[in-house]
Amino acid sequence: MEKKDTMNKPPSLFTNLTAIDWLLAVVFTVIVVWLAQSLFPPWGWGIGLVVALGLLYLAKRRRDRLQQPPDEG
């Protein structure tokens, strides 16, 4: 029986998300895009989208790391 090494595999970006998580992500993205569009009119929507998705990725990665049980050893 071969043991799979799941501890070193990074979690998927879309795992462990609830409906509230999706709602908050959409609302956060809309707010960041709106603010960026207000500050940088021609390309603000693109800048805001990239910034929002980057921040959401960092937050999700940190949350997943905090939810893992601590390593013993």
Query: How far is Cα of residue 6 from the mean position of the Cα atoms in its chain?
Result: 20
User: How high is the mean pLDDT of the chain?
Assistant: 85
Query: What is the value of pTM for the model shown?
Result: 0.74
pLDDT bin (cut points 50, 70, 90) of residue 8 is low
pLDDT at residue 71 is higher than 80: no
Q: Name the percent of the chain lying above pLDDT 90.
A: 58
pLDDT number for residue 66: 87
Q: List pLDDT tens digits, range 18-53.
A: 899 999 999 999 999 999 999 999 999 999 999 999
CA distances to 1, 19, 29, 57 from 51, rounded to whole Å, are 44, 22, 9, 10
